[in-house]
Structure 1
Amino acid sequence: MDSLFGNRRISMAALTDFSQLTTSTKNHLRNVYTCLTLTMLSASAGAFLHLKGGFIQGGLLSTLVAIGLMVWLAATSHTKENQTKRVGILAAFGGAMGLGLGPVLDFAIQINPQIIVTAFIATSIIFVCFSVSALYAQRRSYLYLGGFLGSALTIMLVTSILNMFFKSFALFQFHLYAGVAIFCAFVLYDTQLIVERHMNGDNDYIWHSVDLFLDFINIFRRLIIILGLNENKNKKKN
Structure 2
Amino acid sequence: MQEYKQIDRTEGLPKFYAAIYGYMTLGLLMSAASAYLAIYSDTIISDMFYEFLYEVPYSVLILIGIELLLVVSLRFKENRIRSTAASTVLFILYSVVSGLTLGLITSLYTGESVMAAFISTAAMFGVLSVIGVTVKKDLSPIGRGALSALIGLIVTVFVNAFIFQSEGVSMMISIVTVIIFSILTAYDTQKIKYIYQHYADSAGIGSLMILCALELYLDFINIFLAVLRIFGKRN
TM-score, L = length of structure 1: 0.79
Match of 1:185 among 183, 186, 189: 183
After superposition, residues 133-152 of structure 1 pair within 5 angstroms as 133-138=131-136, 140-152=137-149
CA contact (8 A) 1:104 1:224 kept: no
- Looking at structure 2, the residues matched to 83 and 190 of structure 1 have their Cα atoms a distance apart, in angstroms, of 20
CA contact (8 A) 2:20 2:210 kept: yes
What residue in structure 1 maps to residue 74 of structure 2?
73
CA contact (8 A) 2:24 2:216 kept: yes
Match of 1:36 among 21, 24, 32: 24
What residue in structure 2 maps to residue 87 of structure 1?
88
Determine helix, strand or coil for the equivalent of 2:12: helix
Match of 2:119 among 118, 121, 134: 121
What residue in structure 1 maps to residue 224 of structure 2?
220
Q: Is 1:160 the equivalent of 2:152?
A: no
- Looking at structure 2, the residues matched to 32 and 78 of structure 1 have their Cα atoms a distance apart, in angstroms, of 18
Determine helix, strand or coil for the equivalent of 2:47: coil
- Assess, with a 3 A threshold, how the Cα gap between structure 1 residues 224 and 155 changes in structure 2: closer, same or farther: same
CA contact (8 A) 1:104 1:225 kept: no
Question: RMSD between aligned alpha carbons?
Answer: 2.2
Structure with bigger gyration radius: 1
Amino acid at match of 2:214: V
Unaligned 5+ segments in structure 2 are 1-7, 54-59
1:54 Cα deviation after fit: 1.5
CA contact (8 A) 2:128 2:182 kept: yes
- Assess, with a 3 A threshold, how the Cα gap between structure 1 residues 60 and 21 changes in structure 2: closer, same or farther: farther
What residue in structure 2 maps to residue 106 of structure 1?
107
After superposition, residues 6-21 of structure 1 pair within 5 angstroms as none
Structure number with higher relative contact order (C-alpha < 8 Å, ≥ 6 residues apart): 2
- Assess, with a 3 A threshold, how the Cα gap between structure 1 residues 180 and 21 changes in structure 2: closer, same or farther: farther
What residue in structure 1 maps to residue 4 of structure 2?
none
Unaligned 5+ segments in structure 1 are 1-19
- Looking at structure 2, the residues matched to 208 and 142 of structure 1 have their Cα atoms a distance apart, in angstroms, of 16
Amino acid at match of 2:92: A
Q: Is 1:205 the equivalent of 2:193?
A: no
What residue in structure 2 maps to residue 12 of structure 1?
none
TM-score, L = length of structure 2: 0.80
How many residue pairs end up in the alignment?
Answer: 206
Q: Is 1:56 the equivalent of 2:49?
A: yes
- Looking at structure 1, the residues matched to 90 and 63 of structure 2 have their Cα atoms a distance apart, in angstroms, of 14
Structure 1 outlier segments of 4+, above 3 Å: 75-79
- Assess, with a 3 A threshold, how the Cα gap between structure 1 residues 39 and 67 changes in structure 2: closer, same or farther: same
* 1:145-182 CA-partner distances (Å, limit 9, x unpaired): 12311221122122222222122221111001110111
Q: Higher mean Cα deviation, 124-133 or 151-160?
A: 151-160
CA contact (8 A) 1:133 1:188 kept: yes
